[in-house]
Amino acid sequence: MSDDVSLFDSNGELRLWADSAGWNGYRLTDGEFYEVNVRHDAEEPLTKRQVDAEYVQEAIAEHIRDPHAGEAGEWVRGATPP
């Protein structure tokens, strides 16, 4: 068993929130992190902004701590920290 624990899936995506229109979260591409907002019916993200690892860590922590965040969509089960 590998000791490598990643919240990102095999496509390099960490989907924090999803609804019928799309999802938002983070993509890891070629070692770089991007904050993205993706529509299910679009090829490219609506927004894509490069961020650093510390930004991703803090954003995940804020989502976990936010008691009202569930109102924005559905918490993606695979994004639950180990």
**What is the pLDDT, as a whole number, of residue 48?**
97
pLDDT tens digits along 29-45: 999 999 999 999 998 99
DSSP 8-state class, residue 5: -
Query: What's the rounded Cα separation, in Å, for the pair 38 and 36?
Result: 6
pLDDT tens digits along 46-76: 999 999 999 999 988 887 776 666 555 555 6
**pTM, rounded to two decimals:** 0.72
